Structure 1
Amino acid sequence: MRRAEILAIGSELLLGGRLDTNSLFLTDELAALGIEVRWKTIVGDDEADIMDAIRVAGRRAGLVVMTGGLGPTGDDLTREAVARVTGRPLRRHADTVKGMMQRLAARGRTPTAAQMKQALIPTGAAVLDNPVGSAPGFCLSWKTCQLIALPGVPAEAKAMFTKEATRFVAEPLQTRAQARIERRLLHTFGIVEADLDARVGPLAQSRRGVRLGLLASPLGVTVSLTVCGGSSEMAALEQAARAVREELGGLVYAEGTETMEDVVGRALTTRRMTLAVAESCTGGLIGHRLTQVPGSSNYLDRVLVCYSNAAKMELLDVPKMILARHGAVSPEVAAAMAKGVRERSRADVGLSVTGIAGPGGGTAQKPVGLVYVGFDARGAGLLAKEFRFHGPRDTIKLRASQAALNLLRQWLPLAQIHKT
């Protein structure tokens, strides 16, 4: 199987303000073509640095896909770097010049010297047309590897790779059938990364060729199982995934691209239940996530953001005495909020969350990150659970929303409501 490196070029990718989404797209596309991405490198707009990165990538990978540095400005240096490394002088590509002049003429303009720079291509390289932009890409063979240059603009990179570059990198169908990359993603919540590794690590290691990866985020920990090979490796992958499911049970809430809100929405739909939500510290985040799912209007009745004590009393009928005795961040108030939003809406299920997202507002008894989730449903009664999260404000809010949706997933069967 061919090994590839993705080389993302652009100083903006090193400054923290721009994500390298091209690499994510290319990794998936190359895997589908039977090509394994082994390295990803980001390099700034410096010609010497770009040349060094190309040399390193060319020594270890059979395919190097570069993105960025093909525009008309002075800091677009990919062409020059490739030309110097490979010893192939830049030549003006006649068809590119012709197309550029025609497009600009239609707007009553003539190309500038900077724009004409985009028509320079290393000698002997195949030109990759740009279906949605002006800068063409190119493909050439150098020593034992293949170099492909794509624009850095994500829409242009995707269109060019899909429509132009794949014909240069696709493996023969027979080869792809014999060796391909497959991955299974199992999303968990409620277990820390170290404990998860201790439980599933041996299961993956006992299966031939299965590589285990764990990715922690505020939404939980994702178990990634990957194989590269043929039918025996694919069978090992399915065995490993099945073993992980059996080991973790309900800690696995979704697989693949499915989200917690997808799972909750399906559960509500299956049971023909309606939901009302009362949010305090999450500020509407739960409602936002639920309404990202198409068709959520079939089960989501309303979402109320009740931040102040006055709002909790006025909109949710939370008793003043409970607020005074226990405080807004307490299991008693969480339960009262869930009950209030359900009764006010006449939904089947009420869900609530209250907590301290920080960075201020915490005390020794009630620190930042303390969160309570409330649940109320006919047949289940009032339930509340405590969580303690760490991190900045936005992380605590995201974790609180995930915890609330996860408890909804777990507690829904207790409601025992099924409309006819």
Structure 2
Amino acid sequence: METYNTKKFTELLDELEDCTEIEQRKKIGEMNEFMDEMDKYEFRSVLKIEQFEKIQKMIDEKKMNFGNMILLLKHIGFCKISLRSSNSNFGNSSLGKRFAEMIIFENEKKEEKNERLLVDLCKCCTMLHSYHTFSKELLSICLSSLLKAALIKNESEEARKEVEIALFALSSIDDYYKIEKKLYLEEMKEIIQYHQNNRNLSCLAYQSAWQFLIYRLLNDRHLEDNIVDATHFVREAARELKELTKCVDWKRKEEVTKRKKEQKAIMRWICTIKEPFREFDLWNEDVVGLICSIVELCRAARENEGGTFDNCISLFYSMATMLSVNVDALLEGGAFDLLMEEIQGLSFEDSFVWCYLGIFMEISKRLKEKTNGAIVKRERKASKERLCEKLEEEGYEDIITSFREIIDFIDLGFHNLSLEISDYFIYS
């Protein structure tokens, strides 16, 4: 279905071939603004092979210069990754194939290599290609070129923007790609550690650097030490979420556009955080601080940003299932206070009720497991007593009992919830 945004984008694209270079640049700016307002479905409707073929034709007929094309394609790629679109039309188009050939040709030059051109080509290609259309050779060249661009420490606004796009492009290289550590680890550690000392990156650039590393972690458990201890992922994620939460006046309706931009940054962080807590043993003393930051974000967002709130609760579910996250950390970080506030207001109509029940079921399961060693047993008993005291104050057992019918009703096979009400109780 055509919307105002998609209609205006298509109209402006059709008008480009009859414009001067300066007029083209202005219209491309307008096209970029319309793309910024599109949702995933609108964007998919304009990102067709025909559009890329039209751009290719304008280049061939010299109706668009290369600089304007790069300006347009960079933003198309940026929106594609921001909206998490899996569109593969660019890679299958003649323009995408031409870009791949140009990258390989430019990279193989022995003399007079145009590094700026190569970086621009790699930014567009990395963001616009999909897994199925991105060869290993192309990936290797783009990885090297983008890392080199991201390492630039020029403080000018233009340089910072180019570094941001380079890192954003790198963040789109997801876990489908298995890349040897020697090709990226030292460079990415340098980028992250330099920022921690000098604060030279934008929020988006810094998050993108971490996202690239987390994708690598999913294929290589040996990266955990670097991510947790050398570059302090958990501490940094907590700090960034806290800062982003403060940046937004969540109650002001007129700030929808700004909130939308900030919300995207927050959601990228939540997605980046969720993967390692679902898969790996990332427990350390910084986790309590991260939980505190997520709780603060939940309280700020729950009235006006339901999607952000639900994703935070889902993150707590991931933590609850991981033995690496101590139950005491969830208690000290305020997660149980938040969960009890919310669960008291839930009803049959709340589709997310299964997540709250799942968190308590997983915690109960963990605290009932047998343990070895006197010290571990004492610590487990102390944790149970603290949690039981907290839940008793809130009337937890009565609340859970009231959900018996919901537990019977929920699709248990999908949510892996138990039919036994006692599995949600926690006894000291």
Which protein has the bigger helix share? 2
> Which structure has the greater CA radius of gyration?
1
> Of Structure 1 and Structure 2, which has the larger fraction of its residues in strand?
1
TM-score (norm 2): 0.28
